[in-house]
Amino acid sequence: MARLGINGLKVGILAIAMLGGALAQTLTFWSWRVEDKEFYEDIARQFEAKTGIKVVYTPYKNTEYNTILASALAAGSGPDIIHTRAYGGLAQLADAGYLLPIDAKQVPGLSKFPSSLLNAARGFKDDTKKKIYGVPFATQSLGFFYNKDLLAKAGITRLPETWPDFKAALAKIKAAGIIPLANGPKDGVSLEQIFGVIGPMFYGGTDYFRELTAGQKTFVDDGFIKALEETAALKEFFPPNYAGIGYPEGRTLFTNGGAAFFVTGGFDIAYFRDNNPKLNFGFMPAPPLTRGGRTYVPTFADGNFSINAKSKNIEAALKFLSFLATPEFGQQFTEKLAQASAVPGTKAKDPVLQQIMEQTGYYGTPFLTLVGFRYAAPTGTELLRSGLQRMILGQATGRQVAEEMTKGVATWYKPFQK
């Protein structure tokens, strides 16, 4: 009887150990979102309370993340959960076999995501294009943020309703001794964003994007060229000594109340509020060419939550992605990070963010160079940014830039090779 008691005790201890091991299962999660560490650690605690699965969130500097991740994956290691970029950034990893394809059976919430967002989580090679490799985590939209107090100071009592009216307002603001636009051309990011905001009304928005990506048109198009020219022409409203103004400098200038407008995305709302709580700002899309004309808000998926194809914790990782695809997570993401979650149906408490989300629903169009042409080098983004910088310096025309973009992208984009 004593021996049986001992054996029973051993079995009990073994069972407890096995149970403890299951409860102690840990997922590793890498990201570039250093500023969101507190949020994701809270999400990890919520998930552990529901499932008993622990998640360790490790963020790296944005500028170092891609290199660190690529090195780890190439060595056959890396985290279980990977914060992946969207479109070309994800496709490079998926095409290399580093990411696990998922579907709505494994992650039920995927069935509620629109195809426009799921397309940001697909590969680029023929054998990966139809598969999904992540749960989209955020949508971003671009437009003109404006300082209400500076507009009032310049005598602008109502927002311009047409593009000619908008340029006239910029001239009036400049004449009042106020910097009209905080953006500058130093790093090219702001130029691409300005083009993304005003370009659609010249080249035709989503209709042109579809024809372009299908190879029915190229960048050598009158509307596209006009959009390039209008973007470069805004240099007269940039800050003094604008050659030294890039995205960070422009953001700081606007946040500190130094310029009337700044072209950026909803992702900067939290920055504005955290760094200048008194900033009285709003958001507006680029006004149409004519009164009552078509309005566009360029939008894109910001990235995805993906699973390492070599993870040893696939089942647990799928449970975590399923949680990240729920309205419960999406609502917290939108409220706490002041960004638009990709989970359908979320609402924002921040009035400006909610306005952006609503206008995106009405007027959304793909942010052309990111959504369609960042899959290989030279990317459409690289060619656009450098081309606009040269236009501002008087070293290239809009047609030359459009021709260079077409030729460059055609080296890897099959529809352009017809």
Give the domain CATH number at 373: 3.40.190.10
Residue 149 and residue 290 in one domain? yes
Domain assignment present for residue 17? The answer is no
Residue 82 and residue 59 in one domain? yes
Residue 338 and residue 202 in one domain? no
Phi and psi at 100, nearest 5°, equal -85, 125
Phi and psi at 188, nearest 5°, equal 85, -20
Domain assignment present for residue 182? The answer is yes
Domain assignment present for residue 5? The answer is no
Q: Per residue of the chain (418 residues), what is the pLDDT tens digit? A: 444 454 554 455 444 444 444 456 999 999 999 999 999 999 999 999 999 999 999 999 999 999 999 999 999 999 999 999 999 999 999 999 999 999 999 999 999 999 999 999 999 999 999 999 999 999 999 999 999 999 999 999 999 999 999 999 999 999 999 999 999 999 999 999 999 999 999 999 999 999 999 999 999 999 999 999 999 999 999 999 999 999 999 999 999 999 999 999 999 999 999 999 999 999 999 999 999 999 999 999 999 999 999 999 999 999 999 999 999 999 999 999 999 999 999 999 999 999 999 999 999 999 999 999 999 999 999 999 999 999 999 999 999 999 999 999 999 999 999 7
Domain assignment present for residue 181? The answer is yes
Strands of 308-417, DSSP E:
340-341, 364-366
Domain around 45: 25-138+301-350
Residue 399 and residue 321 in one domain? no
Domain assignment present for residue 16? The answer is no
Domain assignment present for residue 223? The answer is yes
- CA 91 to chain CA centroid, nearest Å: 15
Complete DSSP assignment for 90-115 = HHHHHHTT-B--B-TTTSGGGGGS-H
Residue 128 and residue 218 in one domain? no
Phi and psi at 5, nearest 5°, equal -65, -40
Q: Residue type for 182, please?
A: A
Q: State how many domains the chain has.
A: 2
Residue 129 and residue 156 in one domain? no
Residue 293 and residue 328 in one domain? no
Residue pLDDT, tens place only, 79-111: 999 999 999 999 999 999 999 999 999 999 999
Residue 286 and residue 144 in one domain? yes
Residue 165 and residue 288 in one domain? yes
Residue 204 and residue 224 in one domain? yes
Q: What is the pTM of this model?
A: 0.92
The residue written with tokens 């050598």 in the block is 220
CA distance 154 to 409: 43
Residue 390 and residue 412 in one domain? yes
Residue 305 and residue 293 in one domain? no
Domain assignment present for residue 14? The answer is no
Q: Residue type for 107, please?
A: V
Question: For residue 305, what is the DSSP state?
Answer: E
